[in-house]
Chain A
Amino acid sequence: MTSALLLAADPLYAQGVDLTALLITILKVVVAFAFLLVATMLMVWFERKLVSDMQNRIGPNRAGPWGILQTLADGTKLFFKEHINPIRAERRVYVLAPFLSFVPAFLLFCIVPVSGNWANGGDGTVELFGRTTYLQLADPPVGILFALAMSSIAVYGVMLAGWSSGSKYPLLGSVRASAQMVSYEAAMGLSVMAVVLVTGTVSTHGMVASQAGDGLFHVLPNWAVFTTLLVPFVIFVIAGTAELNRPPFDLVEAEQELVAGFNTEYSSIRFALFFLAEFMNTVTMSGIFVTLFLGGPSGPAPIGPAWLWGCIWFFLKTSAFLFMFVWFRATLPRFRYDQLMDLGWKLLIPLSLGWLLMLAAVQLSGQQNWNPVAVGAGVILMFLIGWSLLRSANAKARAVHLGEEVNA
């Protein structure tokens, strides 16, 4: 019954869990796992190739056409390398940590709708072996909160890896990682709430469903990126990049300062798991972006089966984000630690909180038929007040801080 509750929203389990449903689920798990691994492999290649293009280099070009098998070669090599356990490592945690990093990365993908029949008012279901189901592994009632939970668990992987290595640079890296991920999770959660507010659901399937139709003036699609007025999207992209520890927020593995960061002491396949988890997270996080803000796999289906078009739209949208991540990496220099904290706590969190309140006010005014002009004026007024309060608080804090430094 527990599993049924967890997967309840999927019509596959409408008549209870029988053998067919079980087999279909297993099939979906296998396909999703294989797809994600291949996608991760290609992402590593894509990143290396694109970054070298942006830096006027050629990049990997020996293994397979355009070097596409380079990741496979690297992975195979890592499999055959020696496991090294540092003498001062906390052995059990040290072995466990890579899995704490890797497993959430995969689980996160479970709730991403990758396809489905969304065109022409479809409800995102497909027929699979005579059963109606969603093309996503699980649609738990907690929905997008599951994503936040998983990314929180991933913090443990990084933190415990650094701590259990019994070495100072990994420890420094993991302390940075935990502080960074915790701070940006707040902004991330608040911008997710903005999407929840406008789509009216926490289920990822429901979010895609509510974004599938026509939007403003029947020109723009009804994507949350438009309905939440862009700002939560920008915040989520920034916070998501920070959550992934990707450049420009890769302080966790700042080579110049921390050797290789939290995974310095790891070797062999355990290192590969961290590496894999990082890129897998990049892929799944792009999938989450798409689900939350760009309508997931929804889109027009001119010819052919609609589920195929769902796949295509999902792939295109996700690729755009993957490109963006690589572009960030090629362009932006790394943040300083205090800049990182300033951006997170003093800009992103207040802004996303304010925006959430504003969206709530607009939503409520629509329901209660309040005067839109008054609501707009009130919103602007509140923003100005909030902004000036925040500024004066920052200035005061700065003055106190500087005073302390002078007195010390």
Chain B
Amino acid sequence: MGYLKGFGVTFKKLFEERVTDDYQIGKGHKSPKPERLHGRHVLNRYEDGMEKCIGCELCAGVCPARCIYVRGADNPPDDPVSPGERYGFVYEINYLRCIHCDLCVEACPTEAITETKLFEFSFTSRADAIYTKDELVVGDDGRPQHLPWEDWRPGEDLHTSAWMRATAPGGDPDFEGVVSWSGELGYGVRAPEADQDHRDAVTAPAGGHGHDDHDDHGDDDHGHGHDDHGHDHGDGGH
């Protein structure tokens, strides 16, 4: 009666524990998001409040979905928007087209564009799907703007530049944990993530997702042992 074996399999599944997490665990708490999740973009600013974007359009050029539209303009001499000669005069991302591949982030020479962990989009028209500088540029506290339709919980806006801090330039392990990025408004120079060996040592015994602590204001949650290492070599590394 080999036919009937399958019935046993499906019946047993009834009593097995589900592996799916609820989107919202209890009240006021969402399930933790992976640190390197690709959400919507932000346009970062330097610690002095200047915009990082220089309007070079490399992000638009690399974008495989052709969803970014940038126009650069010369900085007004008496009231410059960015430290250099040019700044991003128009910056638009069409989220109906964006595939969140993060190539724009990799292409950006000034770390101006990074991806947050925010992914709650809500459009009622095609025009609304195009985010402009009004939505994308970080606020005066360095946090992403809280858009009206986004359901924020504590820690929702953290890890806005995770890719930067996770990757050694050129993939060279010698540069793991070496700071090669500029400071950000509200955060200063972010500490690098721990290197691979360290991460393996931390995550292996925990098993599954273990990083519930998402607070990276000021210091990095995984790099405690490496903070000083990162800062010491930050400038000397290059």
Contact = CB atoms under 8 A, between A and B. Distances in A.
Question: Chain B interface: which size bin?
Answer: 10 to 19
A332 B13 CA distance: 15
B6 A332 contact: yes
Contacts of B20: 57-58
Nearest to A58: B20
A331 B19 contact: no
A54 B14 contact: yes
Contacts of B14: 50, 53-54
A54 B18 contact: no
A361 interface: no
Interface of A: 50, 53-58, 327, 330-332
A56 B18 contact: yes
Contacts of B18: 56-58
B174 to A, nearest CB: 44
A330 B13 CA distance: 10
Given A53-B14, A327-B10, A332-B6, 17 more contacts: A53-B13, A54-B10, A54-B13, A54-B14, A55-B10, A55-B13, A56-B16, A56-B18, A56-B19, A57-B18, A57-B20, A58-B18, A58-B20, A327-B11, A330-B10, A331-B6, A331-B10
A58 B13 CA distance: 12
A54 B7 CA distance: 10
Interface in B3-30: 6-7, 9-11, 13-14, 16, 18-20
Contacts of A54: 10-11, 13-14
B9 A331 contact: yes
B14 to A, nearest CB: 5
Nearest to A326: B10
A229 B7 CA distance: 23
Contacts of A332: 6
B86 to A, nearest CB: 48
B13 A331 contact: no
A257 B234 CA distance: 60
Nearest to B18: A58
Contacts of B16: 56
Contacts of A58: 18, 20
24 contacts: A53-B13, A53-B14, A54-B10, A54-B11, A54-B13, A54-B14, A55-B10, A55-B13, A56-B13, A56-B16, A56-B18, A56-B19, A57-B18, A57-B20, A58-B18, A58-B20, A327-B7, A327-B10, A327-B11, A330-B10, A331-B6, A331-B7, A331-B10, A332-B6
Contacts of B19: 56
Contacts of B11: 54, 327
B1 to A, nearest CB: 14
B2 to A, nearest CB: 13
A67 to B, nearest CB: 13
A53 B14 CA distance: 5
A327 B7 CA distance: 7
Contacts of A330: 10
A138 B9 CA distance: 42
B238 to A, nearest CB: 49
B23 to A, nearest CB: 9
A330 B9 CA distance: 10
Nearest to B16: A56
A54 B8 CA distance: 10
A205 to B, nearest CB: 34
Among B6, B9, B10, which residue has the most Cβ atoms of chain A within 10 A? B10
